[in-house]
Amino acid sequence: IVNRDIVNLTNCESEPIHIPGSIQPHGFLLGIQKGASRIEFCSANCADFIGIGPDKILGKHISDIFPKEEASHFALYASAEAIDSAKPFVFTLNGVSFNTTVHGSGHNVILELEPFPDGTLQLPNLYTQTRNFVSIMEKSSGLLDLCQEIADETRSITGYDRVMIYRFDEQYNGEVIAESRREDLVSFANQKYPHTDIPAQARELYIRNPLRMIADINYTPVPLLTIDDSADKSNQSLDLSLSILRSVSPMHIEYLKNMGVGATLTISLLQNQKLWGLIACHHYAPKILPHYTRLSALLQGHFLTSQIAVREVAEEYNISEEVDKALTEALTLLHETENFMAASHQSPWLLKLANATGAAIYHEGILYTNGLVPSDAALIELFAFLSNAYPNQTFDTDNLADVYPAAKDISKYAAGVIYHSMVSGENDGILWLRQEKIETINWAGNPDKAVLQSEDGVRLSPRKSFELWMEIVKDKSSPWRKSEINAASSFSYALQKHINYRLIRAQEDQN
């Protein structure tokens, strides 16, 4: 029996965290060959729990080691075609009870046995929990409100010192959008963390396995042992993706040490098979959460997940209703007024249909403006640029300066634009503008220094400082919503039709 070293790594994304070859020491693990009930893998700490060492376990049949009833239980699991990983059982040996979770991994069935931290099995009151959630759901007005309630509830169920709801952006940077914490702790609320803090393969794993626990970040990993420790059968060949005892990446342990955390529990929040966020719990001392309390915490995650889309859609729906109303008003005015250009450009509905702060129409050399707009000269120049860059097209951005550097001088009025070209005169078009929205991002440490690099560029370790690092984002507007972009399209289309119609009439008059 050979112990293997813990994985040594030089790069975050390539660390194979699902096959660490070791577990955390608050329980022990057995890997049984599917169908044959021969024990192929065990963790080196078996004797600590059941007084029988690996040399007497590996290669044996479970009935050689465990009392008849337990052995037949295990055998049943080992032979099951589909293993229900959510169906644990309690197993008692020499008066000590173990919670046993079972799942399949390749050719093996993995049994993970954990003694109950307080000695006995305590089932949570799921009825009370569910009833609480229903009342939370009814009284919370928006998604953020709901997240706050879930953070409070999860902390009261689990007893962690800090519970955060952490939401990812498109780049997988994350922000703490709700927090429940012990009163004496400093708040992490609204802090942002770079995507490098949770590498891609870890996020992939957290989609498949929605809950993980680090019981004590100062633990010594317990190696997995195998019968036959050859190249194709090593302790690292056992895939621990779905395991609860899986030993955690040493990189991440270092990160948590740098943060001063003692134990964690993390629950994935998914939307459309993607990671939307996490419920991240910190404790400042070691903490083992028993299986059934973990399930309670997981239930809070499911509760929240079930509401994310509903709340997001509801918030979006309210906005799109207002946008629709404004579009209808703007179109009515367009249809009912002879001098539709003059009427449109002064109409408050023109702005409201896209929630714009300004708008401008350039038609046959005349500029019509509405709301907050830059100088006529700057606008005419912008129309010329856009009709050149996007002829017969539409274009929208929340960062005009990105494609048009001169926008930096007018970002007070035009940091974001929706543009539609019009086929009447040269450079004709319509524009909706949005003011700059200066945003302060409170990074927990400089994101550019999230990883300490060595001189030859190799990634060495996670950053040591989480000191607030403020980034000021300029020249950007709040992003345009789909409903706003669509309403602008509808209006532009109608306006173009009016212009065409007038042209045709003018030609008829001439003939």
Which stretches of the chain bind ligand BLA, using CB under 6 A?
A: 12, 15, 17, 164, 174, 188, 193, 196-199, 202, 212, 214, 248-249, 251-252, 255, 264, 266, 278, 280, 282, 450-451, 459, 462
Q: Is 466 helix (H, G, I), strand (E, B) or coil?
A: coil
**Nearest approach, Cβ of residue 455 and ligand BLA (Å):** 17
Nearer to ligand BLA, 96 or 211 (CB): 211
Which CB sits closer to ligand BLA, 263 or 487? 263
Q: How far is the CB of 306 from ligand BLA (least distance, A)?
A: 22
Neighbouring CB atoms inside 10 A of 377's CB total 9
Q: Between 102 and 275, whose beta carbon lies closer to ligand BLA?
A: 275
Q: Minimum CB separation from ligand BLA for residue 259, in Å? A: 7
Nearest distance, CB of residue 458 and ligand BLA, angstroms: 10
Picking from 467, 461, 462, the residue whose alpha carbon sits closest to that of residue 446 is 467
Q: Is there a contact between 114 and 129 (Cβ–Cβ < 8 Å)?
A: no
Closest CB 179 distance from ligand BLA, rounded Å: 9
Residues 461 and 210 sit within 8 Å (Cβ to Cβ): no
Q: Which residues contact 331 (CB under 8 A, 6 or more apart)?
A: 490, 491, 494
For 418, phi then psi, to 5°, come to: -120, 130
Name which of 12 and 304 has its Cβ closer to ligand BLA: 12
Specify the residue for token string 């075609």: 81
Query: Angle at which helices 291-336 and 143-158 pack, to 10 degrees?
Result: 180
Which CB, 208 or 335, lies closer to ligand BLA?
208
Q: How far is the CB of 75 from ligand BLA (least distance, A)?
A: 31
Residue 460 burial by Cβ neighbours in a 10 Å radius (0-12, 13-18, 19+)? exposed
Q: Of the candidates 396, 141, 430, 104, which has an alpha carbon nearest to the alpha carbon of residue 243?
A: 104
**Complex with ligand BLA: residue 449 or 505, whichever CB lies closer:** 449
Q: Is 65 helix (H, G, I), strand (E, B) or coil?
A: helix
Least distance between ligand BLA and beta carbon 22 (Å): 11
Q: What does the alpha-carbon distance between residue 228 and residue 39 come to, in Å, rounded to a whole number?
A: 11
Between CA 120 and CA 423 the distance in angstroms is: 78
20 vs 371 by CB, closer to ligand BLA: 20
Please, what is the minimum distance in Å from the beta carbon of residue 226 to ligand BLA? 21
- Closest approach, Cβ 102 to ligand BLA, in A, equals 21
Q: How far is CA 261 from CA 255, 280, 286, 324, in A?
A: 9, 12, 9, 49
Give the distance, in angstroms, between the CA of residue 485 and the centroid of all CA atoms in the same chain.
Answer: 26
Closer to ligand BLA by CB, 63 or 201: give it: 201
- Residue 314 amino acid letter: A
CA distance 284 to 137: 30
Please report where in the chains the tokens 């889309």 appear, as a residue.
Answer: 309
> Residue 264 or 347: which CB sits closer to ligand BLA?
264
Task: Report in angstroms how near the CB of residue 219 gets to ligand BLA at its nearest.
Answer: 13
Q: Please say which residue, 44 or 278, places its beta carbon nearer to ligand BLA.
A: 278
- Cβ-based nearer residue to ligand BLA, 143 or 205: 205
Q: Please, what is the minimum distance in Å from the beta carbon of residue 193 to ligand BLA?
A: 4
Question: How many angstroms separate the CA atoms of 61 and 67, rounded?
Answer: 12
Which of 43, 37, 119, 120 is closest to 73 using CA atoms?
A: 37
CB of 176 to ligand BLA, least distance (A): 6
Of 9, 6, 10, 40, the C-alpha closest to 23 is 6
CB 358 within 8 A of CB 371: yes
Length of the chain, in residues:
511
* φ and ψ of 180, to 5 deg: -125, 125
Nearer to ligand BLA among residue 359 and residue 450 (C-beta): 450
- Residue 502, CA atoms < 13 Å, CB-side half-sphere: 17
Closest residue by Cα to residue 152 from 260, 281, 273, 23: 281
